[in-house]
Amino acid sequence: MPDVTTITPGKPIWIDLASPDLDASKQFYNQIFGWDAQQVGGPDMGNYTFFTLGGKQVAGGASMMMEGQHPAWTTYIAVEDADKTAAKIKDAGGEVVMGPHDIPESGRMAIFRDPTGAYLALWQAGGHRGSAIMQEPGSYSWTELLTRDLPRAKQFFQEVFGWDVESMSMGSAAPEGAMYTLWRLNGEWVGGAMDMPPQVPPQVPAYWQVYFGVANVDQSAQQIAKLGGKLLVEPMDFPGGRLAVAQDPQGAMFGIMQSTQ
Protein backbone atom coordinates (compact mmCIF):
# COMPACT_ATOMS: atom_id res chain seq x y z
CA MET A 1 0.00 0.00 0.00
CA PRO A 2 1.46 3.41 -0.90
CA ASP A 3 2.09 5.61 2.11
CA VAL A 4 1.22 9.29 2.14
CA THR A 5 4.56 10.88 2.94
CA THR A 6 4.02 14.52 1.97
CA ILE A 7 1.36 17.10 2.76
CA THR A 8 0.19 19.19 -0.18
CA PRO A 9 -1.80 22.32 0.72
CA GLY A 10 -5.11 22.36 -1.15
CA LYS A 11 -5.50 18.57 -1.30
CA PRO A 12 -7.62 16.28 0.90
CA ILE A 13 -5.62 15.14 3.92
CA TRP A 14 -8.10 13.48 6.32
CA ILE A 15 -11.67 12.24 6.68
CA ASP A 16 -13.73 11.58 9.75
CA LEU A 17 -17.15 10.32 10.71
CA ALA A 18 -19.76 11.81 13.03
CA SER A 19 -21.91 8.94 14.31
CA PRO A 20 -24.90 8.65 16.68
CA ASP A 21 -23.58 5.21 17.74
CA LEU A 22 -19.80 5.14 17.49
CA ASP A 23 -19.44 1.58 18.78
CA ALA A 24 -21.83 0.28 16.12
CA SER A 25 -19.97 2.29 13.46
CA LYS A 26 -16.67 0.77 14.54
CA GLN A 27 -18.11 -2.71 14.12
CA PHE A 28 -19.67 -1.95 10.72
CA TYR A 29 -16.56 -0.42 9.14
CA ASN A 30 -14.36 -3.15 10.61
CA GLN A 31 -16.46 -5.70 8.75
CA ILE A 32 -16.55 -3.67 5.51
CA PHE A 33 -12.97 -2.38 5.31
CA GLY A 34 -11.06 -4.33 7.96
CA TRP A 35 -10.46 -1.25 10.09
CA ASP A 36 -9.27 -1.47 13.67
CA ALA A 37 -10.23 1.27 16.12
CA GLN A 38 -8.08 3.17 18.61
CA GLN A 39 -9.81 5.66 20.88
CA VAL A 40 -7.64 8.73 21.48
CA GLY A 41 -10.10 11.27 22.90
CA GLY A 42 -12.38 11.37 25.90
CA PRO A 43 -16.09 12.26 26.15
CA ASP A 44 -15.28 15.96 25.72
CA MET A 45 -13.93 15.08 22.25
CA GLY A 46 -16.75 12.70 21.34
CA ASN A 47 -14.52 9.72 22.22
CA TYR A 48 -12.52 10.54 19.10
CA THR A 49 -11.18 7.38 17.47
CA PHE A 50 -8.57 6.64 14.84
CA PHE A 51 -9.46 3.95 12.32
CA THR A 52 -6.38 2.03 11.20
CA LEU A 53 -5.60 -0.43 8.43
CA GLY A 54 -2.51 -2.55 8.84
CA GLY A 55 -1.54 -0.34 11.78
CA LYS A 56 -1.71 2.88 9.73
CA GLN A 57 -4.26 5.64 10.21
CA VAL A 58 -6.86 5.93 7.45
CA ALA A 59 -9.74 7.89 9.02
CA GLY A 60 -11.29 9.17 12.23
CA GLY A 61 -14.62 8.93 13.97
CA ALA A 62 -16.48 10.54 16.87
CA SER A 63 -19.85 10.64 18.51
CA MET A 64 -22.12 13.47 17.44
CA MET A 65 -21.92 16.32 19.95
CA MET A 66 -23.86 19.25 18.47
CA GLU A 67 -27.61 19.79 18.38
CA GLY A 68 -28.99 19.28 14.89
CA GLN A 69 -25.87 17.44 13.70
CA HIS A 70 -26.41 14.68 11.16
CA PRO A 71 -24.43 11.46 10.69
CA ALA A 72 -21.86 12.26 8.02
CA TRP A 73 -18.35 11.82 6.70
CA THR A 74 -16.33 15.06 6.51
CA THR A 75 -13.38 15.75 4.22
CA TYR A 76 -10.49 17.90 5.50
CA ILE A 77 -8.36 19.96 3.11
CA ALA A 78 -4.69 20.53 3.98
CA VAL A 79 -3.70 24.16 4.52
CA GLU A 80 -0.53 25.90 5.65
CA ASP A 81 -2.41 28.45 7.77
CA ALA A 82 -5.98 27.73 8.88
CA ASP A 83 -6.60 31.32 9.98
CA LYS A 84 -5.52 32.85 6.68
CA THR A 85 -7.57 30.30 4.74
CA ALA A 86 -10.60 30.99 6.94
CA ALA A 87 -10.28 34.68 6.05
CA LYS A 88 -10.15 33.80 2.35
CA ILE A 89 -13.28 31.66 2.76
CA LYS A 90 -15.18 34.62 4.21
CA ASP A 91 -13.90 36.98 1.51
CA ALA A 92 -15.04 34.52 -1.19
CA GLY A 93 -18.58 34.31 0.22
CA GLY A 94 -18.31 31.21 2.41
CA GLU A 95 -19.13 30.85 6.10
CA VAL A 96 -16.77 29.57 8.80
CA VAL A 97 -19.02 27.66 11.20
CA MET A 98 -16.41 26.35 13.65
CA GLY A 99 -12.87 27.45 14.51
CA PRO A 100 -10.17 27.87 13.63
CA HIS A 101 -9.04 26.24 16.86
CA ASP A 102 -6.20 24.04 18.04
CA ILE A 103 -6.41 20.33 18.64
CA PRO A 104 -3.66 19.88 21.24
CA GLU A 105 -0.51 18.25 19.89
CA SER A 106 -2.30 17.46 16.61
CA GLY A 107 -2.98 20.56 14.54
CA ARG A 108 -5.42 23.39 13.90
CA MET A 109 -8.82 23.00 12.24
CA ALA A 110 -11.91 24.79 11.05
CA ILE A 111 -15.21 23.76 9.49
CA PHE A 112 -16.79 25.90 6.80
CA ARG A 113 -19.71 26.01 4.41
CA ASP A 114 -19.31 27.12 0.80
CA PRO A 115 -21.75 29.58 -0.81
CA THR A 116 -23.80 26.69 -2.24
CA GLY A 117 -24.35 25.15 1.23
CA ALA A 118 -21.85 22.26 1.37
CA TYR A 119 -19.60 21.66 4.39
CA LEU A 120 -15.85 20.99 4.31
CA ALA A 121 -13.06 21.25 6.86
CA LEU A 122 -9.53 22.65 7.01
CA TRP A 123 -6.56 20.93 8.60
CA GLN A 124 -3.28 22.66 9.44
CA ALA A 125 -1.12 19.70 10.37
CA GLY A 126 0.89 19.52 13.56
CA GLY A 127 1.56 16.17 15.18
CA HIS A 128 -1.27 14.58 13.20
CA ARG A 129 -0.40 14.51 9.51
CA GLY A 130 -3.62 13.02 8.17
CA SER A 131 -4.32 9.73 6.43
CA ALA A 132 -1.23 7.53 6.11
CA ILE A 133 -2.75 5.51 3.23
CA MET A 134 -4.88 6.70 0.31
CA GLN A 135 -6.02 5.35 -3.06
CA GLU A 136 -5.96 1.73 -1.92
CA PRO A 137 -8.70 -0.75 -0.92
CA GLY A 138 -9.96 0.14 2.54
CA SER A 139 -8.77 3.75 2.40
CA TYR A 140 -9.87 7.15 1.12
CA SER A 141 -10.15 7.20 -2.66
CA TRP A 142 -12.13 10.28 -3.76
CA THR A 143 -14.36 13.13 -2.67
CA GLU A 144 -16.96 14.96 -4.74
CA LEU A 145 -19.34 17.85 -4.38
CA LEU A 146 -23.01 17.59 -5.30
CA THR A 147 -24.48 21.08 -5.65
CA ARG A 148 -27.29 23.02 -7.29
CA ASP A 149 -24.99 25.92 -8.22
CA LEU A 150 -21.89 24.44 -9.80
CA PRO A 151 -20.69 27.71 -11.44
CA ARG A 152 -20.67 29.45 -8.04
CA ALA A 153 -18.84 26.52 -6.45
CA LYS A 154 -16.19 26.58 -9.18
CA GLN A 155 -15.56 30.27 -8.56
CA PHE A 156 -15.40 29.84 -4.79
CA PHE A 157 -12.95 26.94 -4.71
CA GLN A 158 -10.71 28.54 -7.30
CA GLU A 159 -10.49 31.66 -5.12
CA VAL A 160 -9.90 29.78 -1.86
CA PHE A 161 -7.70 26.84 -2.88
CA GLY A 162 -6.62 27.68 -6.42
CA TRP A 163 -8.47 24.69 -7.87
CA ASP A 164 -8.79 24.64 -11.63
CA VAL A 165 -11.52 22.65 -13.36
CA GLU A 166 -11.74 20.16 -16.19
CA SER A 167 -14.97 18.72 -17.58
CA MET A 168 -15.49 15.18 -18.82
CA SER A 169 -18.42 13.06 -19.97
CA MET A 170 -20.07 11.01 -17.25
CA GLY A 171 -20.43 8.04 -19.58
CA SER A 172 -23.33 5.98 -20.84
CA ALA A 173 -24.87 5.43 -17.39
CA ALA A 174 -25.61 9.15 -17.01
CA PRO A 175 -28.19 11.26 -18.88
CA GLU A 176 -27.07 12.25 -22.36
CA GLY A 177 -24.82 15.27 -22.27
CA ALA A 178 -24.21 15.08 -18.51
CA MET A 179 -20.74 16.32 -17.60
CA TYR A 180 -18.53 15.74 -14.59
CA THR A 181 -16.22 18.35 -13.13
CA LEU A 182 -12.71 17.44 -12.02
CA TRP A 183 -10.92 19.73 -9.58
CA ARG A 184 -7.21 20.07 -10.35
CA LEU A 185 -4.35 21.60 -8.38
CA ASN A 186 -1.00 21.94 -10.15
CA GLY A 187 -2.14 19.34 -12.66
CA GLU A 188 -3.21 16.75 -10.07
CA TRP A 189 -6.79 15.68 -9.39
CA VAL A 190 -8.03 16.63 -5.93
CA GLY A 191 -11.72 15.73 -6.27
CA GLY A 192 -14.82 16.09 -8.38
CA ALA A 193 -18.17 17.83 -8.60
CA MET A 194 -21.51 17.41 -10.32
CA ASP A 195 -24.95 18.94 -10.46
CA MET A 196 -27.30 17.62 -7.81
CA PRO A 197 -29.40 14.82 -9.35
CA PRO A 198 -33.00 15.96 -9.90
CA GLN A 199 -34.40 13.06 -7.86
CA VAL A 200 -32.73 14.38 -4.69
CA PRO A 201 -35.37 16.16 -2.57
CA PRO A 202 -35.01 19.96 -2.59
CA GLN A 203 -34.61 20.09 1.21
CA VAL A 204 -31.33 18.14 0.94
CA PRO A 205 -28.52 20.74 0.87
CA ALA A 206 -25.37 20.57 -1.21
CA TYR A 207 -22.86 18.11 0.23
CA TRP A 208 -19.48 16.46 -0.24
CA GLN A 209 -19.39 12.70 -0.60
CA VAL A 210 -16.43 10.53 0.40
CA TYR A 211 -15.51 7.39 -1.54
CA PHE A 212 -13.42 4.50 -0.26
CA GLY A 213 -11.47 2.10 -2.43
CA VAL A 214 -12.52 -1.55 -2.58
CA ALA A 215 -11.21 -4.55 -4.50
CA ASN A 216 -14.67 -5.48 -5.82
CA VAL A 217 -17.58 -3.02 -5.76
CA ASP A 218 -20.29 -5.64 -6.29
CA GLN A 219 -19.07 -7.86 -3.47
CA SER A 220 -18.66 -4.92 -1.10
CA ALA A 221 -22.13 -3.63 -1.97
CA GLN A 222 -23.64 -7.00 -1.11
CA GLN A 223 -21.78 -7.03 2.19
CA ILE A 224 -22.96 -3.50 3.05
CA ALA A 225 -26.58 -4.54 2.51
CA LYS A 226 -26.09 -7.74 4.50
CA LEU A 227 -24.72 -5.76 7.47
CA GLY A 228 -27.68 -3.37 7.60
CA GLY A 229 -26.49 -0.63 5.26
CA LYS A 230 -28.65 0.76 2.47
CA LEU A 231 -27.59 0.97 -1.16
CA LEU A 232 -28.57 4.37 -2.59
CA VAL A 233 -26.85 3.89 -5.96
CA GLU A 234 -26.46 0.31 -7.13
CA PRO A 235 -23.06 -0.71 -8.55
CA MET A 236 -22.49 1.02 -11.88
CA ASP A 237 -19.65 1.67 -14.28
CA PHE A 238 -18.07 5.08 -14.75
CA PRO A 239 -15.22 6.10 -17.08
CA GLY A 240 -12.57 5.31 -14.45
CA GLY A 241 -13.98 2.10 -13.00
CA ARG A 242 -17.01 1.02 -11.00
CA LEU A 243 -18.79 2.59 -8.02
CA ALA A 244 -21.75 2.42 -5.68
CA VAL A 245 -23.18 4.76 -3.03
CA ALA A 246 -24.48 3.59 0.32
CA GLN A 247 -25.73 4.70 3.71
CA ASP A 248 -24.32 3.02 6.78
CA PRO A 249 -26.71 1.65 9.47
CA GLN A 250 -26.23 4.85 11.51
CA GLY A 251 -27.24 7.09 8.58
CA ALA A 252 -23.95 8.39 7.12
CA MET A 253 -23.58 8.32 3.33
CA PHE A 254 -20.41 7.09 1.64
CA GLY A 255 -19.30 5.71 -1.68
CA ILE A 256 -17.18 2.74 -2.69
CA MET A 257 -15.01 2.78 -5.77
CA GLN A 258 -13.06 0.22 -7.79
CA SER A 259 -10.61 1.96 -10.10
CA THR A 260 -9.48 0.57 -13.44
CA GLN A 261 -6.89 3.30 -14.03
Chain segment 162-175, per-residue pLDDT in tens: 999 998 876 655 55
| pLDDT exceeds cutoff 80 at 2 | no
Task: Name the pairing type of β-strands 140-147 and 188-195.
Answer: parallel
Taking the C-alpha atoms of residue 252 and residue 227, their distance in angstroms, rounded to an integer, is: 14
pLDDT tens profile 96-114: 999 999 999 999 999 999 9
**Is the pLDDT assigned to residue 161 strictly greater than 50?**
yes
Give the pLDDT confidence score for residue 1 in this predicted structure: 43
- Residue 147: name the closest of 107, 208, 195, 87 by CA: 195
Q: If we measure between CA atoms, which residue out of 146, 144, 217, 155 comes closest to residue 182?
A: 144
Q: What's the pTM?
A: 0.94
Strand partners of residue 143: 210
Nearest 5°: CA angle at 213, between 178 and 128? 115
Using 50, 70 and 90 to split pLDDT, how confident is the model at 82?
A: very high
**144 with 211: CB under 8 angstroms?**
yes
Of 238, 79, 254, 74, whose CA–CA distance to 161 is shortest?
79
pLDDT tens digits, one per residue of 220-253: 999 999 999 999 999 999 888 999 999 999 999 9
